[in-house]
Structure 1
Amino acid sequence: METYNQNESVARDLYTVYCGAVGGQAHDGTLLPEAREFFTNLDTIKQAEGWRTVAEEAPGIIRRHALNNASATMKDKASQSSGWKKLVYIAGSIIAAGLAASYLTGCGLTNLDMAGQDGGSLSFRYDPVTGQIIVVGTRPEQAAPVIIQKGK
């Protein structure tokens, strides 16, 4: 029974994309072999292992860059916002930066709780299984609005 190896499949796809990008030729002009041959040929085993390593590392690299981009975007939005929006953007940028760092160090930020001086709060939870960031917030208690009626 044949089993599916996702890493092997991704490595072969990446190699195929690379071959297309360089016109199917190596730096010296020789034709590059098809993926099926490349990944089974003993003469190219070291290079094939390199592509397998790239396939294994690629998701973490892409995730880290995406989180860094999200952090930068949220910092930019925070600089253009005020009040609760600014707080949410700042917290989001901290979480994204923390998550990006966690992929580099193997540990990191999974929870962040913030309380405002006005009684409101925000809680951020990162679920490492689904990759989702869950935001829960409470608004500060607001006094009943004062209505001023202008006389005739």
Structure 2
Amino acid sequence: MSLTRLTAAGFALGVALWGGSAGAAPTCTFLQPVGGNGSSRIVSKSVGAAKVTPIGMAFGRTNWNTDFLVDQPYTSFKFFFTANSSDPKAKYPVQAYMKFSDGSSLQMFNTEMNPPMGTGKMFGPFASVPGKQATQMNFKVGASKDPGALGFSYRISVQGCR
């Protein structure tokens, strides 16, 4: 098989996986954050410290998790992350999960980042799971291993694509 045919076959396979036709790009929509007011699909946050009890157990809200509502069936999802601040020595754990109607979840990625201020990254697209109904996309940005990451501010959003 020639390189031209292999490339065309690979393109056709990619198009088939997207469920579209050649030349038709997927249509993507920003998902609403859970608890949002409907006016913004982009969430801005800062990494907060976990509260610790006198016996050393963590409790309380850390502000590390943000859920986005999946309001219709999508074929794939994209996660967007942009650093609003940065400490050149700190690492920021960034994770994402696809949550399903049966209560299960699937980790989409788990990485540590040290992004310069103002830079961003798109993760995905990640295909929907056949036979499962996605209900939420969860974005988690924390500071569990690196106290230097506390106070780090960022923007996140998620798109569903068809």
Please indicate, yes or no, whether the TM-score normalized by the shorter chain is above 0.5.
no
- Which of these two proteins has the greater Rg computed from alpha carbons? 1
Query: As a proportion of its length, which structure holds more helix?
Result: 1
Q: Higher relative contact order at CA 8 Å, sep ≥6: structure 1 or structure 2?
A: 2
Q: Which has the higher strand share?
A: 2
Q: TM-score, normalised by structure 2?
A: 0.23
